[in-house]
Amino acid sequence: MSNVVRLFKDPPSSPEEPPGVAAADLPPAQEAPPERLWVRCSRAVRTAATHERTRTAGRAAVRHGMYVVGGTRIVTRRAWEGRTAARYERLLRAAEAAGQLDLAQEWEERGQRFREARHRRRMDLLTAPVKLAKSAAAGLGLTVGGLLLLGIVLAVANRNIADLAAPTMALITLIRWAVFVASVVWGPLVTFGPFALLLALWGVGRHQQAAPQWTLPDRGQDAGAPITPSVVVTALRDLGIAPLRNAIKEMGDAGAAMLSPIRIAGCGVEVDVTLPSGVSTNEVQNRRKKLAENLTRHEHEVFITIPEAARTVRLWIADSGALDEPIGPSPLVTDETLTANYKTGRAPWGQDLRGDAALISLYQRHVLITGLSNQGKTAALRALALWLALDRTVEFWLGDLKGVGDWAMFEGLATVLIQGPTDEHVIQVTEMVEDGVKEMNRRLQAPPGTEFPPLIIIVDEAQVAFMCPATDEDRRPYGGSKATSRYFMAVRKIHNQGRAVNVILWEGTQDPTDQNLPKLVREGAHTRASLVVGTESQSRMALGDKAVNGGAAPHLLRQGLDKGTLVVASDGIQIPAGQASITVRTHYIDTDEAAEVAERAKALRDGVTILHTIDSGDEDRDPLADIAGVIGDAPRVLTQDVLKRLATLNEDAYGGWSFIDLKRVLDGTGAEPYKSDGRMVVARDRVHRALANRPDDDSASTSA
């Protein structure tokens, strides 16, 4: 039989060990390791040392100790400055650092007068012992003589010769008591005097907060506190810029000379800070978040710009929470009598940070609005177009390359309205912009002095056009950022010369890069605005280096929380003197409200028919019949071939036609161009069906 090994679990030990079992027989696992006591002790010490109460007590001890050290330093410096010309030299350096030469000269003169007075006092000390001895002898003689005279008077009055020495003995007794009192007080004074001195030094240090910042108690309850000069100077001092901190410490007025008067500016305050020598403005700009925290504000509640004055930064500090409040509806929605004037009017776009209305002129200014997706770009661009639509002389050509209905209210208001995200829509938008170039050239060649109505060409989501890979039959790309790109070149031509004849281009694009927003295109816009973007480099693409160097920072806006907030660089909007940009909180007009405004614009245009006539000399043409004729027996013909055949048929009538004109004639007839094998074509059967089904009174048309 095989051996069987059985394992049994030891029963739990009882309070009393059974007889015959020695302590040495216990299992080794029950013996406490000798190092466990040290582990528990070290853990306890570590817990006690890192406990919050211990840290709080340690900070308090260091803080109050540094109050004494700091108070001693402050009192010593005051005493030294009171006896020397150090104060005048410090104020002189501060005035020179601030560029205040007149004040520096004044301090230099006062310091010189102090030195001259001190020299006279020192020279007087040379003759002081002789004068002191003479004064002491004269004083002693007068005192003795006076006491003797007083004693004579008392002796005569009392008829007692003993009263002759009474005044002298009284003086001696007074001196004896004074010595006695001094001897009694001297012991406690020597004992408690140092403690009183330490208490006084502690009080000075506590009043001046002369302790490291990390030891000071939390001041979270001061969030949103009013902005005062001392608050601003303290915030600047604690930015971590050593030259700035040292300059503030050396200033006799504790840095107040750096600040202009604090002005109320809308929902916040504004102050200019003249930085001392050795401190650059970008050092302060790069510490915006820390400065905001020092001012007990959030980062988005502090804006730093660079005015015209040298070594100066302008701080705008919002009231706590003010920027999270809505700004109210647009005047376009609340005022049904509002009209627009393209040449002299200004669009009510929103409010600036000061709470003033932000009005912008659109006269002969190309517009570019950029930003991340879903931050209000289309709404901001559409608000400008809705205001301008209230001027009945303005014509719109509009391409929406998103195609979700954001611009649907312009149906019947815009002469051209293209909506959709596909390559086919990009081709149509490109040809629309190219038609704008043709219209621009026609106007440029008109007789001098000819006035032209404004033509506003709007392309929303323009990045889709720049990134489009489609090519035409000549292998020329529609998108791209090179000279071969049809869309890019059309935009550049309008930017170069369009404004002179009121052919204006507005573009909206997402997340700008060099690929979807080429440098030459973005620099061709007169009004550049940006919502929140991801990086500083994108801010520079959107607004330009000058605006960003001057303090524009759309990359510091809060994504999602600052929807509709734009940083604008334009000469069409009032910007505070010395600044390169302005931050605007735009009014939000939703789709339903936009439709109501568009209906008012259409009502203003009632009775005004915008015709796009085809100049055919004395001959009236029927475009639909001509299209059917040039198609012939072919089942379908490329749109480009249709245009060429029409031009051959009648150069005067159809020589200037583009795809937009062809599409405008065929829209709504059932014979619209469509894509076949990746090319836009027109079908013969559809055109003939449209001819057969149209009303008799529409058999010929001179309008497209």
The crossing angle, in degrees rounded to 10, of helices 423-444 and 486-497 is 30
pLDDT of residue 472: 87
In this prediction, residue 383 carries a pLDDT of 94
What letters, b where the CB count within 10 A reaches 16 and e where it falls short, cover 359-379?
A: ebbbbbbbbbbbbbeebbbbb
CB atoms inside a 10 Å sphere around CB 144 = 11
Alpha helices for 345-394 (secondary structure H): 377-389
pLDDT tens digits for range 464-481: 999 999 988 888 999 988
Asked if residue 378 belongs to a known ligand binding site, the reply is: yes
- Is the CA virtual torsion 117, 119, 125, 131 positive or negative? negative
Hey, what CATH class is 219-324 in? alpha beta
> Using CA atoms, how far apart are residues 362 and 369, in angstroms rounded to an integer?
13
What integer pLDDT is reported at residue 302 of this predicted model? 87
The yes-or-no answer to whether 219-324 and 616-699 have a common fold is: no
Q: Tell me whether residue 373 is annotated as binding.
A: yes
**pLDDT per residue over 560-587, tens digit each?**
888 889 999 998 998 877 678 888 999 9
Closest residue by Cα to residue 612 from 393, 415, 450, 392? 415
Q: What is the DSSP letter of 637?
A: E
Q: What is the DSSP string of 532-588?
A: --SSHHHHHHHH-HHHHHTT--GGGSPTTTSTTEEEEE-TTB---TT-S-EEEEEPP
Beta strands 582-586; 347-352: pairing state: antiparallel
Q: Is 375 annotated as a binding residue?
A: yes
Q: Report the C-alpha dihedral over residues 400, 404, 410, 415, rounded to 10 degrees.
A: 40
Provide the residue type at 583 as one letter: T
Q: Is 550 annotated as a binding residue?
A: no
Domain ranges of the chain: 219-324, 365-530+592-603, 616-699
Other Cβ atoms within 10 Å of 563 Cβ, number:
20
**Tell me, what's the pLDDT at 160?**
83
* Segment (H or E) for 168: helix 166-207
Return the CATH number of the domain spanning residue range 365-530+592-603.
3.40.50.300
**658 phi/psi in degrees, rounded to 5:** -125, 180
pTM across the whole model = 0.57
Residue 82, CA distances (Å) to 76, 77, 244 in order: 10, 8, 25
Burial of 150 (0-12, 13-18, 19+ CB in 10 A): middle
* 484 annotated ligand binder: no
Distance separating alpha carbons of residues 108 and 86, to the nearest angstrom = 11
d(CA 115, CA 170): 47
479 annotated binding-site participant? no
Mean per-residue pLDDT pooled into runs of 10, the chain (704 residues): 47 47 48 63 78 81 84 84 80 69 82 88 86 87 86 84 84 88 85 85 80 66 69 87 83 74 85 87 86 86 83 87 81 89 92 85 94 90 94 92 90 89 92 92 87 92 92 88 90 93 94 87 92 90 88 85 89 82 90 92 63 40 86 84 83 81 85 81 88 66 39
Does domain 616-699 match CATH 1.10.10? yes
Identity at 271, one-letter amino acid code: V
d(CA 464, CA 422): 9
Q: Give the per-residue pLDDT at 14.
A: 46
